[in-house]
Protein backbone atom coordinates (compact mmCIF):
# COMPACT_ATOMS: atom_id res chain seq x y z
CA UNK A 1 0.00 0.00 0.00
CA UNK A 2 1.52 3.36 -1.00
CA UNK A 3 1.82 6.38 1.32
CA UNK A 4 -1.23 8.12 -0.13
CA UNK A 5 -3.42 5.03 0.31
CA UNK A 6 -2.19 4.58 3.90
CA UNK A 7 -3.07 8.19 4.64
CA UNK A 8 -6.55 7.79 3.20
CA UNK A 9 -7.26 4.67 5.22
CA UNK A 10 -5.96 6.35 8.36
CA UNK A 11 -8.14 9.37 7.69
CA UNK A 12 -11.21 7.18 7.26
CA UNK A 13 -10.48 5.31 10.48
CA UNK A 14 -10.14 8.62 12.32
CA UNK A 15 -13.39 9.92 10.82
CA UNK A 16 -15.33 6.80 11.79
CA UNK A 17 -14.07 6.79 15.37
CA UNK A 18 -12.92 3.93 17.55
CA UNK A 19 -15.02 1.28 15.79
CA UNK A 20 -12.22 0.80 13.29
CA UNK A 21 -9.42 0.79 15.87
CA UNK A 22 -10.99 -1.28 18.63
CA UNK A 23 -9.59 -4.79 19.02
CA UNK A 24 -12.54 -6.37 17.18
CA UNK A 25 -11.67 -4.38 14.08
CA UNK A 26 -7.90 -4.10 14.36
CA UNK A 27 -7.43 -7.47 12.66
CA UNK A 28 -10.81 -8.27 11.09
CA UNK A 29 -11.64 -11.90 10.68
CA UNK A 30 -13.21 -13.10 7.46
CA UNK A 31 -16.66 -14.59 8.09
CA UNK A 32 -16.43 -18.37 8.41
CA UNK A 33 -18.67 -18.97 5.40
CA UNK A 34 -16.36 -16.90 3.19
CA UNK A 35 -13.92 -19.83 3.05
CA UNK A 36 -16.23 -21.54 0.56
CA UNK A 37 -17.38 -18.90 -1.98
CA UNK A 38 -19.57 -21.41 -3.84
CA UNK A 39 -21.66 -21.83 -0.69
CA UNK A 40 -22.79 -18.22 -0.89
CA UNK A 41 -23.48 -18.09 -4.62
CA UNK A 42 -27.04 -17.28 -5.61
CA UNK A 43 -27.44 -20.79 -7.01
CA UNK A 44 -26.38 -22.36 -3.71
CA UNK A 45 -28.60 -20.03 -1.67
CA UNK A 46 -31.66 -20.71 -3.80
CA UNK A 47 -31.23 -24.44 -3.19
CA UNK A 48 -31.84 -23.79 0.51
CA UNK A 49 -35.29 -22.37 -0.29
CA UNK A 50 -37.42 -25.27 -1.63
CA UNK A 51 -39.79 -24.20 -4.38
CA UNK A 52 -37.82 -21.07 -5.33
CA UNK A 53 -35.93 -20.45 -8.54
CA UNK A 54 -33.79 -17.57 -9.75
CA UNK A 55 -34.28 -15.66 -12.96
CA UNK A 56 -33.19 -12.61 -14.94
CA UNK A 57 -35.19 -10.01 -16.81
CA UNK A 58 -34.02 -7.30 -19.19
CA UNK A 59 -36.28 -4.35 -18.39
CA UNK A 60 -36.02 -0.54 -18.50
CA UNK A 61 -32.46 -0.71 -19.82
CA UNK A 62 -31.11 -2.93 -17.02
CA UNK A 63 -30.82 -6.64 -16.29
CA UNK A 64 -32.49 -7.52 -13.00
CA UNK A 65 -31.84 -10.69 -11.03
CA UNK A 66 -34.66 -12.09 -8.90
CA UNK A 67 -35.62 -15.19 -6.94
CA UNK A 68 -39.25 -16.31 -7.05
CA UNK A 69 -41.43 -19.01 -5.54
CA UNK A 70 -44.93 -19.83 -4.40
CA UNK A 71 -48.25 -19.12 -6.09
CA UNK A 72 -51.02 -16.59 -5.72
CA UNK A 73 -51.08 -12.82 -5.86
CA UNK A 74 -47.63 -11.30 -6.50
CA UNK A 75 -45.57 -9.90 -3.63
CA UNK A 76 -42.37 -8.12 -4.66
CA UNK A 77 -39.57 -7.81 -2.07
CA UNK A 78 -36.99 -5.01 -2.42
CA UNK A 79 -33.90 -5.14 -0.15
CA UNK A 80 -31.53 -2.36 0.82
CA UNK A 81 -27.90 -1.58 1.56
CA UNK A 82 -25.69 -3.47 2.25
CA UNK A 83 -27.69 -6.57 1.37
CA UNK A 84 -29.20 -8.43 -1.60
CA UNK A 85 -32.38 -10.43 -2.33
CA UNK A 86 -31.17 -12.80 0.41
CA UNK A 87 -32.21 -10.23 3.07
CA UNK A 88 -35.75 -11.68 3.01
CA UNK A 89 -34.82 -15.37 3.05
CA UNK A 90 -36.27 -15.91 6.53
CA UNK A 91 -39.76 -14.72 5.54
CA UNK A 92 -39.92 -15.82 1.89
CA UNK A 93 -41.02 -19.45 2.46
CA UNK A 94 -43.88 -18.47 4.77
CA UNK A 95 -45.15 -15.73 2.45
CA UNK A 96 -44.93 -18.14 -0.48
CA UNK A 97 -47.64 -20.33 1.07
CA UNK A 98 -50.26 -17.91 -0.23
CA UNK A 99 -48.44 -15.60 -2.65
CA UNK A 100 -46.07 -15.55 -5.57
CA UNK A 101 -43.01 -14.11 -3.83
CA UNK A 102 -40.38 -12.31 -5.92
CA UNK A 103 -37.25 -11.02 -4.17
CA UNK A 104 -35.27 -8.69 -6.42
CA UNK A 105 -31.70 -7.45 -6.62
CA UNK A 106 -32.17 -3.75 -7.34
CA UNK A 107 -30.31 -1.88 -10.06
CA UNK A 108 -26.69 -1.90 -8.87
CA UNK A 109 -27.15 -4.80 -6.45
CA UNK A 110 -25.92 -8.39 -6.44
CA UNK A 111 -26.31 -10.13 -9.79
CA UNK A 112 -28.28 -7.26 -11.36
CA UNK A 113 -26.49 -4.90 -13.72
CA UNK A 114 -24.61 -1.86 -12.41
CA UNK A 115 -25.04 0.92 -14.97
CA UNK A 116 -23.43 4.33 -14.72
CA UNK A 117 -26.68 6.07 -13.75
CA UNK A 118 -30.36 5.71 -12.96
CA UNK A 119 -30.04 5.36 -9.19
CA UNK A 120 -32.72 7.87 -8.31
CA UNK A 121 -35.63 6.03 -6.74
CA UNK A 122 -38.08 7.11 -9.45
CA UNK A 123 -36.01 5.37 -12.13
CA UNK A 124 -35.43 2.34 -9.92
CA UNK A 125 -39.19 2.15 -9.31
CA UNK A 126 -39.69 2.13 -13.08
CA UNK A 127 -37.32 -0.86 -13.19
CA UNK A 128 -39.59 -2.74 -10.79
CA UNK A 129 -42.80 -1.75 -12.57
CA UNK A 130 -41.33 -3.02 -15.83
CA UNK A 131 -40.31 -6.27 -14.08
CA UNK A 132 -43.84 -6.75 -12.71
CA UNK A 133 -45.26 -6.35 -16.23
CA UNK A 134 -42.53 -8.61 -17.66
CA UNK A 135 -43.62 -11.33 -15.23
CA UNK A 136 -47.21 -11.00 -16.43
CA UNK A 137 -48.85 -9.00 -13.65
CA UNK A 138 -50.85 -5.77 -13.82
CA UNK A 139 -50.27 -4.94 -10.16
CA UNK A 140 -48.47 -6.25 -7.10
CA UNK A 141 -47.95 -5.74 -3.41
CA UNK A 142 -44.52 -4.18 -2.97
CA UNK A 143 -42.50 -4.62 0.23
CA UNK A 144 -39.26 -2.74 0.75
CA UNK A 145 -36.56 -2.40 3.39
CA UNK A 146 -34.03 0.45 3.66
CA UNK A 147 -33.15 1.66 0.13
CA UNK A 148 -35.67 -0.89 -1.14
CA UNK A 149 -38.33 0.80 1.00
CA UNK A 150 -37.57 4.09 -0.74
CA UNK A 151 -37.91 2.40 -4.13
CA UNK A 152 -41.17 0.77 -2.99
CA UNK A 153 -42.58 4.16 -2.00
CA UNK A 154 -41.54 5.65 -5.35
CA UNK A 155 -43.21 2.68 -7.08
CA UNK A 156 -46.50 3.38 -5.29
CA UNK A 157 -46.26 7.13 -5.92
CA UNK A 158 -45.50 6.78 -9.63
CA UNK A 159 -47.54 3.66 -10.40
CA UNK A 160 -50.54 3.67 -8.05
CA UNK A 161 -52.58 1.69 -10.58
CA UNK A 162 -49.94 -1.06 -10.38
CA UNK A 163 -49.82 -1.08 -6.58
CA UNK A 164 -52.09 -3.38 -4.61
CA UNK A 165 -50.64 -2.71 -1.16
CA UNK A 166 -47.39 -1.18 0.11
CA UNK A 167 -45.16 -2.27 3.00
CA UNK A 168 -42.24 -0.10 4.14
CA UNK A 169 -39.70 -1.43 6.65
CA UNK A 170 -37.77 1.01 8.85
CA UNK A 171 -37.05 3.69 6.19
CA UNK A 172 -39.31 6.15 4.34
CA UNK A 173 -38.65 7.90 1.03
CA UNK A 174 -36.12 10.77 1.14
CA UNK A 175 -37.76 14.12 1.78
CA UNK A 176 -36.79 17.65 2.75
CA UNK A 177 -36.26 16.67 6.40
CA UNK A 178 -32.96 14.96 5.49
CA UNK A 179 -31.38 18.37 5.00
CA UNK A 180 -31.83 19.07 8.72
CA UNK A 181 -30.05 15.91 9.91
CA UNK A 182 -26.97 16.71 12.02
CA UNK A 183 -23.45 16.27 10.74
CA UNK A 184 -22.28 15.62 14.31
CA UNK A 185 -23.84 13.41 17.01
CA UNK A 186 -25.00 14.88 20.28
CA UNK A 187 -22.57 14.28 23.14
CA UNK A 188 -22.90 10.85 24.67
CA UNK A 189 -25.32 9.46 22.06
CA UNK A 190 -22.98 7.76 19.56
CA UNK A 191 -21.51 4.41 20.49
CA UNK A 192 -21.31 0.81 19.29
CA UNK A 193 -25.11 0.48 19.30
CA UNK A 194 -27.67 2.87 17.89
CA UNK A 195 -29.43 5.16 20.32
CA UNK A 196 -32.96 4.95 18.91
CA UNK A 197 -33.73 8.45 20.16
CA UNK A 198 -30.52 9.89 18.66
CA UNK A 199 -29.54 7.90 15.54
CA UNK A 200 -26.40 9.10 13.78
CA UNK A 201 -26.41 8.09 10.11
CA UNK A 202 -22.91 9.29 9.20
CA UNK A 203 -22.82 6.94 6.19
CA UNK A 204 -25.51 9.04 4.45
CA UNK A 205 -22.84 11.73 4.08
CA UNK A 206 -19.87 9.42 3.52
CA UNK A 207 -21.61 7.74 0.59
CA UNK A 208 -22.09 11.11 -1.09
CA UNK A 209 -18.38 11.23 -1.86
CA UNK A 210 -17.62 10.03 -5.37
CA UNK A 211 -14.59 7.88 -6.08
CA UNK A 212 -12.95 7.87 -2.66
CA UNK A 213 -15.06 5.14 -1.01
CA UNK A 214 -14.23 2.76 -3.86
CA UNK A 215 -10.51 3.44 -3.41
CA UNK A 216 -10.69 2.99 0.34
CA UNK A 217 -13.01 0.01 0.52
CA UNK A 218 -12.44 -2.16 -2.55
CA UNK A 219 -11.86 -5.65 -1.14
CA UNK A 220 -12.40 -4.23 2.37
CA UNK A 221 -16.08 -3.28 2.21
CA UNK A 222 -16.83 -5.89 4.85
CA UNK A 223 -15.15 -3.60 7.43
CA UNK A 224 -17.88 -1.02 6.91
CA UNK A 225 -20.52 -3.76 6.78
CA UNK A 226 -19.36 -5.28 10.06
CA UNK A 227 -19.50 -1.89 11.78
CA UNK A 228 -22.92 -1.23 10.27
CA UNK A 229 -24.32 -4.58 11.39
CA UNK A 230 -22.92 -4.07 14.90
CA UNK A 231 -24.42 -0.60 15.18
CA UNK A 232 -27.87 -1.33 13.75
CA UNK A 233 -28.58 -4.88 14.99
CA UNK A 234 -30.01 -5.46 18.43
CA UNK A 235 -29.39 -9.20 17.94
CA UNK A 236 -26.08 -9.47 16.07
CA UNK A 237 -26.60 -13.21 15.55
CA UNK A 238 -29.66 -12.51 13.38
CA UNK A 239 -27.29 -11.91 10.46
CA UNK A 240 -25.00 -14.90 10.78
CA UNK A 241 -21.64 -15.85 9.27
CA UNK A 242 -23.17 -17.15 6.05
CA UNK A 243 -25.31 -14.04 5.62
CA UNK A 244 -22.29 -11.81 6.13
CA UNK A 245 -20.30 -13.82 3.62
CA UNK A 246 -23.10 -13.31 1.08
CA UNK A 247 -23.01 -9.55 1.54
CA UNK A 248 -19.23 -9.39 1.73
CA UNK A 249 -19.03 -11.07 -1.67
CA UNK A 250 -21.81 -8.92 -3.15
CA UNK A 251 -20.12 -5.61 -2.30
CA UNK A 252 -16.44 -6.51 -2.62
CA UNK A 253 -15.84 -4.96 -6.05
CA UNK A 254 -15.27 -1.34 -6.93
CA UNK A 255 -18.31 -1.42 -9.23
CA UNK A 256 -20.58 -2.69 -6.45
CA UNK A 257 -19.35 -0.07 -3.99
CA UNK A 258 -19.87 2.67 -6.59
CA UNK A 259 -23.41 1.48 -7.35
CA UNK A 260 -24.37 1.18 -3.68
CA UNK A 261 -23.08 4.67 -2.98
CA UNK A 262 -25.04 5.96 -5.98
CA UNK A 263 -28.31 5.11 -4.23
CA UNK A 264 -27.34 7.66 -1.57
CA UNK A 265 -25.90 10.18 -4.02
CA UNK A 266 -29.35 10.29 -5.64
CA UNK A 267 -31.03 11.53 -2.45
CA UNK A 268 -31.06 15.21 -3.53
CA UNK A 269 -32.90 14.23 -6.73
CA UNK A 270 -35.19 11.92 -4.75
CA UNK A 271 -36.12 14.86 -2.52
CA UNK A 272 -37.01 16.95 -5.57
CA UNK A 273 -39.10 14.07 -6.93
CA UNK A 274 -40.80 13.62 -3.57
CA UNK A 275 -42.16 17.15 -3.79
CA UNK A 276 -44.08 16.19 -6.93
CA UNK A 277 -45.76 13.11 -5.47
CA UNK A 278 -49.37 13.09 -4.40
CA UNK A 279 -50.89 11.45 -1.35
CA UNK A 280 -50.80 7.64 -1.33
CA UNK A 281 -54.33 6.23 -1.12
CA UNK A 282 -53.58 2.49 -1.23
CA UNK A 283 -53.22 0.57 2.07
CA UNK A 284 -49.77 1.15 3.56
CA UNK A 285 -48.10 -0.83 6.35
CA UNK A 286 -45.01 0.70 7.95
CA UNK A 287 -42.92 -1.51 10.25
CA UNK A 288 -40.33 0.34 12.29
CA UNK A 289 -37.40 -0.64 14.42
CA UNK A 290 -35.13 2.35 15.13
CA UNK A 291 -36.81 4.07 12.18
CA UNK A 292 -40.33 3.97 13.65
CA UNK A 293 -40.43 7.68 14.48
CA UNK A 294 -38.99 8.60 11.10
CA UNK A 295 -41.63 6.52 9.33
CA UNK A 296 -44.38 8.05 11.42
CA UNK A 297 -43.25 11.64 10.80
CA UNK A 298 -42.82 11.25 7.04
CA UNK A 299 -45.75 8.97 6.19
CA UNK A 300 -48.57 10.34 8.34
CA UNK A 301 -49.18 13.42 6.16
CA UNK A 302 -48.56 11.53 2.90
CA UNK A 303 -50.96 8.60 3.25
CA UNK A 304 -54.70 8.13 3.81
CA UNK A 305 -54.69 4.47 4.85
CA UNK A 306 -51.63 3.94 7.06
CA UNK A 307 -50.99 1.24 9.64
CA UNK A 308 -47.88 1.72 11.79
CA UNK A 309 -46.26 -1.15 13.70
CA UNK A 310 -43.40 -0.89 16.17
CA UNK A 311 -41.03 -3.86 16.05
CA UNK A 312 -40.15 -3.90 19.73
CA UNK A 313 -36.66 -5.13 20.52
CA UNK A 314 -35.53 -5.05 16.90
CA UNK A 315 -32.77 -3.15 15.24
CA UNK A 316 -32.84 -1.90 11.66
CA UNK A 317 -32.94 -5.36 10.04
CA UNK A 318 -36.46 -6.23 11.14
CA UNK A 319 -37.12 -9.12 8.73
CA UNK A 320 -33.98 -10.89 9.97
CA UNK A 321 -34.26 -10.02 13.66
CA UNK A 322 -38.02 -10.60 13.98
CA UNK A 323 -38.93 -12.90 11.06
CA UNK A 324 -41.95 -14.59 12.67
CA UNK A 325 -43.44 -11.28 13.77
CA UNK A 326 -42.68 -9.63 10.42
CA UNK A 327 -44.36 -12.48 8.57
CA UNK A 328 -47.42 -12.27 10.82
CA UNK A 329 -47.72 -8.50 10.40
CA UNK A 330 -47.46 -8.77 6.62
CA UNK A 331 -49.83 -11.72 6.29
CA UNK A 332 -52.43 -9.99 8.47
CA UNK A 333 -52.08 -6.85 6.36
CA UNK A 334 -52.42 -8.74 3.06
CA UNK A 335 -55.49 -10.74 4.13
Determine the pLDDT at residue 265. Answer: 98
CA distance 114 to 292: 31
pLDDT at 38 over 80: no
Q: What pLDDT, on the 0 to 100 scale, is given for residue 83? A: 98
pLDDT (average), residues 117-142: 98
To the query of whether residue 316 is one of the catalytic residues in this protein, the response is: yes
Q: How high is the pLDDT of residue 19?
A: 39
Please give the pLDDT value at position 39.
86
3-state secondary structure the chain: CCHHHHHHHHHHHHHHHHHHCCHHHHCCCCCHHHHCHHHHCHHHHHHCCCCEEEEEEEECCEEEEEEEECCCEEEEEECCCCCCHHHHCCCHHHHCCCEEEEEECCCCCCCCCCCCCCCCHHHHHHHHHHHHHHCCCCCEEEEEECHHHHHHHHHHHHCHHHEEEEEEECCCCCCHHHHHCCCCCCCCCCCCCCCCCCCCCHHHHHCCCCCHHHHHHCCCHHHHHHHHHHHHCCCHHHCCHHHHHHHHHHCCCHHHHHHHHHHHHCHHHHHHHHCCCCCECCCEEEEECCCHHHHHHHHHHHECCEEEEECCCCCCCHHHHCHHHHHHHHHHHHC
Is 264 considered catalytic here?
yes
Q: Check whether 294 has a pLDDT greater than 60.
A: yes
Question: Is the pLDDT assigned to residue 14 strictly greater than 80?
Answer: no
pLDDT in tens, 295-306: 999 999 999 999
Any catalytic annotation for residue 251? no
151-200: per-residue pLDDT in tens?
999 999 999 999 999 999 999 999 999 999 999 999 999 999 999 999 99
Is the model's pLDDT at 99 over the cut of 50? Answer: yes
Question: For the residues 214-220, what does the mean pLDDT come to?
Answer: 94
Catalytic residue of the set 146, 175, 243, 273: 146
Catalytic residue among 65, 264, 273, 292: 264
**Which of 99, 145, 207, 316 is an active site residue?**
316
Give residue 24's pLDDT. 41
Residue 98: band (very low, low, confident or very high) from pLDDT cuts 50, 70, 90:
very high
Q: Residue 9: which pLDDT band, with cuts at 50, 70 and 90?
A: very low
> What's the pTM value of the predicted model, to 2 decimals?
0.89
pLDDT surpasses 90 at 32: no
**What is the C-alpha separation between 334 and 282, in angstroms, rounded?**
12
pLDDT at residue 7, rounded to an integer:
46
Report the chain's mean pLDDT, rounded to a whole number: 91
> What whole-number distance in Å separates Cα of residue 289 and Cα of residue 282?
23
pLDDT of residue 29: 45
Amino acid sequence: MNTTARSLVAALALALGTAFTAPAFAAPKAPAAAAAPAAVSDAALVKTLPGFQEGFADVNGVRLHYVAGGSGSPVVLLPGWPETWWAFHKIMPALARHHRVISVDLRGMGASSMPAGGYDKKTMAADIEALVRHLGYDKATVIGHDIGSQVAYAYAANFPQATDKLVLIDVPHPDQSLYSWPILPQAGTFGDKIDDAHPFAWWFAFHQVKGLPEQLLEGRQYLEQEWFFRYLLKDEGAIDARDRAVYRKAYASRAAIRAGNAWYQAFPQDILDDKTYGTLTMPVLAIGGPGYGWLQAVLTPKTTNLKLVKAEGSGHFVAEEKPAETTAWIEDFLN
